[in-house]
Amino acid sequence: MQRVIRERLIDPDYWRFWWRTRVSPDAKLLLVVALAAAAVSTYFVAQRSGDRLPAGSPGATIVRPQPALRDVDRELRQARLFELWSVANPGELERYEQYAAALDLGLRPWPPEMVTPFGRALVAAMEAASRSR
């Protein structure tokens, strides 16, 4: 008996039959209105609360501070790895400096081709910072 009930409860055809025959039209209308009201109220609450909602919530807005390119460049240059890289790769350092200077002027130069992984990471970091401006 319990097995029959359990099989019936997981059968989608049973629930379609139950919805069509056992639920009154008034109850169906009430459910639709309640769902619509919940959706509208959630939207307005999300709009009013803005970035206080979790990132996955509908209507959530995350406000991130926009870093200045000079600040990003300064942080990158303060790293010990940057110092070691610049001594070992003077040609790449020159290309990076020209690229960073052009970005700082507001230009959109083509990113320089870097051979080392650190050089590519520097260019990627500056590209990301320039897009967020």
Question: Does residue 64 form part of some domain?
Answer: no
User: Could you tell me the pTM of the whole model?
Assistant: 0.49
Say whether pLDDT at 94 is over 90. Answer: yes
Q: Is the pLDDT of residue 6 over 70?
A: yes
In a domain, 58, yes or no: no
Q: Tell me which residue range forms the domain holding 118.
A: 69-131
Clarify whether residues 76 and 48 are in a common domain.
no
Shared domain check, 122 and 94:
yes
Q: How far apart are CA 129 and CA 88, in angstroms?
A: 25
Higher pLDDT, 55 or 92: 92
**120 Cβ neighbours under 8 A, 6+ residues apart:** 114
Same domain, 36 and 90: no
Buried b (16+ CB within 10 A) or exposed e, 39-61: eeeeeeebeeeeeebeeeeeeee
Mean residue pLDDT of the chain comes to 81
Cα distance between residue 129 and residue 120, in whole Å: 14
Residues 43 and 88 in one domain: no
Q: How large is the average pLDDT for residues 80-101?
A: 91
- The answer on 125 and 75 residing in a single domain is yes
pLDDT tier at 72 (50, 70, 90 boundaries)? Answer: confident
Residues 43 and 78 occupy one common structural domain: no
Q: How many domains does the chain have?
A: 2
Q: Which helix (H) or strand (E) holds 119?
A: helix 117-131
93, part of any domain? yes
Residue 107 backbone phi and psi in degrees, to 5 = -80, 160
Q: What is the pLDDT of residues 24-54, one digit of tens each?
A: 999 989 988 998 888 888 877 777 665 454 5
